[in-house]
Amino acid sequence: MEAVLGEADGRPGALPFVSHALWETWRRRNSAELTLEGYRAAGGIDGALTRTADRVYGELDAAQRRVARAVLLRLIALGEGTEDTRRQIGRAELGDDPATAGVLDRLAAARLIILGAGAADTVEIAHEALIAGWPRLRDWLANDREDLRAHRRLTEAAVEWDAHGRDEALLYRGRVVAAWNDRDQAALNKLESAFLAASRAWREREGKTRRRRRRLLLSGLVSALVVTTTLATLAIVQGRQAVQEHDFVRSRQLAAKARDRLQVDPELALLLAVKAVRMGPVAEAESVLRQAVVDSRAEATLLLSGQLPGLDVAFSPDGGGLISSGLDGIVWAWRRSGVSWHGPTMLRATSKLQRPVTSPDGRFAASGGLDGTVQIWDLAGTAAPVILKGHQGSVTAIAFSPDGRHLASAADDGIRIWNLTGQRVERVLAGRRVGWGRLAFSPDGRRLAAGSPTNDTIRIHNLLSELRCSAVPEGGCHLARPGHHQRPAVAMLSRPGGRLPRPLNRRNVRTVPIQRQFESTYQGTNTPISH
């Protein structure tokens, strides 16, 4: 007794554990006496109940273990912030199948549960100590606690439903019944299963009723909507037909304009054709668009926002740069990357400019100022331009020497040769006030040709002397750079009647050595001379 009292001392609720430990000691006795050895063999207060429960559970097969687990969990009332307690239930709640009856008998024989007899056909756990003292049962309660709470609510709802004549008003609704689709239902008894089945059937019927009502309502709304839509559609269609007819007429007009411009201005024709197709996909517009695409020769279109017309343009020698100027006197620069052009960038200047050119290496750009200055930019940087002063009046023509070390500029007061290294005038070429329109250096840089569109002359200068070409009849000429000859030469195109021969060939272009004068007249028509 001292060992029993020593283990029970200071432990609230120890009596059930003592009772079970003594019962297990009695069951293990070898005589009419209870011995300390038998008490310790039974496990004492701490181990007797656990050993009994584990022994009985271990003797069951897999199916019986599932039944035992379900029975024991039903016999526990889950505490809300308090300890879990045992729950007494009617035998009917567990069902009447033989497997359940066999498990109940074995649990009762081990004094783990108590079976009521006669009218009190009940089942309950023998000692609440089993709830706290058996680790396996505690694990079941911890792992399935939320499902056990839902099961308890289902049990209570099913009992109430059955007690009120299975009234549909007491069935589960909405998400409550839907939640049971994802839960294990193997532990439900017949009444609980019937309750869930009735709840699902009612939900299905209600869903069909709601859908039927919705269809009827939608049918009415659709009928009203059809009438309204039909009337609105007729009005919209008539309006669209009127707009479409107007667009088709406008598209045909644009297509006709585009066709008229195909030979004169293919790029404008292409723009007009695109606009015509966008206005209305008529056959005439699509046909002229296809032809305009074929005729278009533009690689890119570069736009200058706000620049006045009258562009002068010049490529860099490698074709990767482009500069331009307009009547507003502003010079712009682009750079090409692949097939794309980037820019424009406005070159900083101190006056209005014209006639832009690039140096042979493409690094520098120069342009003549209306104030008589020549302005030179380093295209690789952002510094202010170098300004060369000396002319009286607008600079009308500029040319770099082949080596890029000299620059020629022309104005009404004559032609100046600038040494770019020292940024000074190296020579002023005499000449009357004729307004030179073009300058060109010979490939060796020793000679300079100047052409005027107003006085019918080409003047060729070398650093030591001048030779003047005879007058070209009927005014003006176009200078072309000479080809590869043994001696420096210049090509002259004449234009009787003010027309440039076209196409150019050996009959209307002659290359003449510079050492002799020349005068030639070639017949031709078509295009006026322009720069």
Q: How many CB atoms lie within 10 A of CB 526?
A: 9
pLDDT at 167 over 50: yes
For residue range 172-194, what is the model confidence (pLDDT) as tens digits? 888 888 888 888 888 888 898 89
Is 327 or 109 the better-scoring residue by pLDDT?
109
Please report the pLDDT score of residue 43 as a whole number: 47
Q: What is the pTM of this model?
A: 0.38
pLDDT at 61 over 90: yes
pLDDT at 31 over 70: no
Strands (E), 265-371: 312-315, 321-325, 331-337, 340-346, 353-358, 364-369
Q: How many CA atoms lie within 13 A of 182 on its CB side?
A: 6
Those residues whose C-beta lies under 8 Å from the C-beta of residue 509, and which sit 6 or more positions away, are: 480, 491, 493, 501, 522
For residue range 67-92, what is the model confidence (pLDDT) as tens digits? 999 999 999 988 888 888 888 988 88
Please report the pLDDT score of residue 51 as a whole number: 79
Calpha distance 240→232 (Å, rounded): 12
pLDDT at 474 over 50: no
pLDDT over 90 percentage in the chain: 8
Q: How many CA atoms lie within 13 A of 154 on its CB side?
A: 28
Please report the pLDDT score of residue 402 as a whole number: 92
| Mean pLDDT value across the chain | 76
Please report the pLDDT score of residue 430 as a whole number: 62
pLDDT at 455 over 50: yes
Calpha distance 302→294 (Å, rounded): 20
Please report the pLDDT score of residue 398 as a whole number: 92
pLDDT band at 248 (very low <50, low <70, confident <90, very high): confident
Please report the pLDDT score of residue 509 as a whole number: 44
CATH architecture of 312-464: 7 Propeller (2.130)
Those residues whose C-beta lies under 8 Å from the C-beta of residue 385, and which sit 6 or more positions away, are: 347, 348, 349, 350, 375, 376, 377
Calpha distance 430→373 (Å, rounded): 19
pLDDT band at 407 (very low <50, low <70, confident <90, very high): very high
For residue range 199-244, what is the model confidence (pLDDT) as tens digits? 988 988 888 888 888 888 888 888 888 888 888 988 888 888 888 8
**What is the 3-class SS of 375-441, one letter each residue?**
EEEECCCCCCCEEECCCCCCEEEEEECCCCCEEEEEECCEEEEEECCCCEEEEEECCCCCCCCEEEE
- Residue 503 sits at the vertex; the CA angle it makes with 501 and 505, to the nearest 5 degrees, is 90
Calpha distance 226→223 (Å, rounded): 5
DSSP label at residue 115: E
Please report the pLDDT score of residue 18 as a whole number: 56
Average pLDDT estimate for 319-323 = 86
pLDDT band at 161 (very low <50, low <70, confident <90, very high): very high
Please report the pLDDT score of residue 304 as a whole number: 66
Please report the pLDDT score of residue 19 as a whole number: 58
* Cβ atoms 491, 509 nearer than 8 A: yes
Domain ranges of the chain: 1-164, 171-296, 312-464
Average pLDDT estimate for 407-434 = 80
Calpha distance 129→112 (Å, rounded): 10
